[in-house]
Structure 1
Amino acid sequence: MRRFVWGRYWSVVKKEIIQIKRDRPSLGIALVMPLMLLFLFGYAVNTDVNDIKMVVWNQSPSTVSRELIDQFVNTRVFQVQAQVSGYEAIEAMLDEGSADVALVIGPDYTRKRDRGERAHVQMLVDGSDPNIARTATSHAQLIVQNQAITLQETRLQKQGMGELESPLALDTRVLFNPNMESIVFNIPGLIGLIMQNVTMILTAFSLVREKERGTMEQLIVTPIRPLELMLGKITPYVGVGLFSFCLVLLVGTNWFGVPVKGSIPLLVTLSILFLVTTLLLGIFISTIARTQLQAMQMAFALILPSVLLSGFMFPRDSMPVVIQWFGGLVPLTYFLEILRGIFLKGAGLDALWRDVVGMGVFCLFILTVAILRFRKKIE
């Protein structure tokens, strides 16, 4: 069995660096696209629901009814678009999308409030977007409950019974993301997703380009071993990917204001491991594909499921167990846990070692499979 020769390895590295310099579009993709995607997704991917468009039909104009409407507006979750005078106008605005919810205050609202009777308020919610519907419903319930408690306390004070004291209280403390901002959660995930997509696509073309240019046969007749070729091919892209990673990391922390609470050297080290893994995955794709179009299609066939299965968009704990197993086959799954652990929690290697081991095992596995695939082609 032939041993690993550093001279042959460095020859492949130099050859790949020359090709990268000549391939300006690919180099531009590696350096410019991560920033473009970070800005695009950083502002577009936002699960915080604010300024829900609300239409109001106030059939009992009075101080108390206007006070109720103000309580909805003051939360900054609801934004009154119009005051209407009928269900037909409400239905028209909900149908055309100019309103998401409708607040209907009945004609007897003020009278019942003054008499101390139970008053009803109706809210119509457009449920086509469940996220907006859930947010609107939960906030409306809290507003009405708070108003009911305030009224109850006022009545008890008038009767000389003192203030109403709740028998149960909940003291809540939110850790790691106190303001519960979605951008703080999304930016680390976006960094991992962008780096996966860009690096995988770049190396997916690597061996395919050799085939299309007719230089693969020249490589095959040389004494270069598959391991030397694989590592030589990905080494320059590790440098390019690491530069792109540092660039988007600076933008994420300074422009979007998401600080890194953990160790930056640990973050960079584990990011290099992830870059190597995704680059090897791209090399594996290039050993299967015959053309660059096929390589692109295969790359996207892996990228799209990884977005869904890795926990980037949806929590993995709510997925069926079988789907969670499939998510364990995606390296991005482990890297997202590492990124969010270091960014948000300041976690160290003692808390992240399972994800590091999982990503390392995947890296070795895909390297072995890619070498076997390339050796089979040589034979």
Structure 2
Amino acid sequence: MSATDLSDHGHDIRERFGFWRRSYAMVVKEFIQLRRDRVSFAMIVMIPVMQLLLFGYAINTTPHNLPSAVLLQEDSDLARSVLKALENTAYFRFTREVHDVDEFDNLLKSGKVLFGVEIPRGFERAVRRGDKPALLVAADATDPVAASAALGSLGMVVQTALQHDLYIGDPPEMPFEIRAHARYNPAASSRLNIVPGLVGTILTMTMLIFTALSVTREVERGTMESLLSMPIKPVEVMFGKIIPYVLVGFIQAFLILSIGVLLFGVPVLGSLTLLALLSTLFITTNLAIGYTFSTIVQNQLQAMQMSMMFFLPSILLSGFMFPFAGMPVWAQYLGEGLPLTHYVRIVRAIMLKGATVQNLQYDTLALAALMLVAMVIAVTRFRRTLD
């Protein structure tokens, strides 16, 4: 082998070793950078863990023990047997006893209960006389998934209720009937449930991202120095960045609702003014949370990642995709701390039930409290000087 060939062979070997050495150096560099980027590392670990825990423990497409109210106009052995038979189906859990029809309707409109059972006066006497009275079960069918399984279980209630009260064996015919009334969405149309919830879901995603990127964009572009040199207070910076996006969010909400009404036939039974006011409150709450994220992270990538970390549990635990009442208690507590949970209830109640502000007091106050907490944190964390 000539000297030239040996030289070329040695050069090839050095090139191959150089390739792997440089590649190894890049791999080490990326791991070091990933270790320093704590938000990205947390995303790698937390997203699969969060999805597994939420889908494994919190999500239930066949919910049980749903909150129910009873209008008991007579306290008899047969009435108690009927209520016990309803509870034995594992779908109904009686949490309220009301005294008139108005209270009955208000609980359903506000979403505090999903079912209402009315046992009329003279019910047991009418059964024993063979008059075949009717027992009313009213269901909040704005969430068809939660209502359908429970209503489908009513057929066995009559048999179970009478087993120990009137008959030893099977009765020749049913001595009373159960009239199930699916309110607000009698056809169990999924679009009546999904379209109002989409308003909140889309607004959550866009509003979080808009404002989460606002402060970090200023820092990366170098314009934050000019902003900080001005005689402006942190709260003024926050309002200056939030208010334009309130208008953007309002336009988005109007667009989604218009498409829902015109193309999908979703009704708006309540006050449009109330819906607009509470939508503005919800938009402002999400903007304040997004602004808080922008004061925590260091760059736009981290801002996007943190927004997605917040958006994932919001869409899963809010009751938009899965019945809220069917989740375990710990998941419901987490869901109550998410703005989307309260807004989904609000928009469905106004559009499908014609609910008023009196029916929505709890969710309105919860949204206002979340907005104030986010604003206080954002103003407190705002950096008056660049790091």
Normalising by the smaller structure, the TM-score range is 0.5 to 0.7
Written as runs of structure 1 = structure 2, the 5 A alignment for 1:263-302 is: 263-302=271-310
Partner of 1:103: none
Alignment partner of 1:372 is 2:377? no
- Distance in 1 between the 2:339 and 2:258 partners? 23
Written as runs of structure 1 = structure 2, the 5 A alignment for 1:166-245 is: 166-245=174-253
Shift of 1:169: 2.1
Whether the 8 Å contact between 2:317 and 2:341 is mirrored in structure 1 is: yes
Shift of 1:165: 4.3
Amino-acid identity (%): 44
- Distance in 1 between the 2:183 and 2:326 partners? 21
Alignment partner of 1:307 is 2:315? yes
Shift of 1:166: 3.5
State the AA in 2 paired with 1:205.
Answer: L
- Distance in 2 between the 1:222 and 1:173 partners? 63
Look up the SS of the partner of 2:180 in the other structure: coil
Alignment partner of 1:322 is 2:327? no
Look up the SS of the partner of 1:173 in the other structure: strand
Shift of 1:322: 1.6
State the AA in 2 paired with 1:313.
Answer: M
State the AA in 2 paired with 1:208.
Answer: T
- Distance in 1 between the 2:339 and 2:226 partners? 33
Shift of 1:168: 3.6
- Distance in 2 between the 1:374 and 1:225 partners? 10
- Distance in 2 between the 1:346 and 1:284 partners? 34
- Distance in 1 between the 2:260 and 2:385 partners? 42
Partner of 1:255: 263
Written as runs of structure 1 = structure 2, the 5 A alignment for 1:81-160 is: none
Deviations 1:267-323 (A, max 9, x none): 001000111111111111111111111111110000011011111112222222221
Shift of 1:220: 1.4
Look up the SS of the partner of 2:182 in the other structure: coil
**TM-score under structure 2 length normalisation:** 0.55
Shift of 1:355: 0.3
Shift of 1:183: 1.1
Q: Which runs of 5+ in 2 are unaligned?
A: 1-60, 62-144, 157-171
RMSD, aligned CA: 2.3
- Distance in 1 between the 2:374 and 2:384 partners? 15
Partner of 2:128: none
- Distance in 2 between the 1:378 and 1:358 partners? 34
- Distance in 1 between the 2:332 and 2:251 partners? 32
- Distance in 1 between the 2:248 and 2:193 partners? 26
Partner of 1:107: none
Count of paired positions: 224
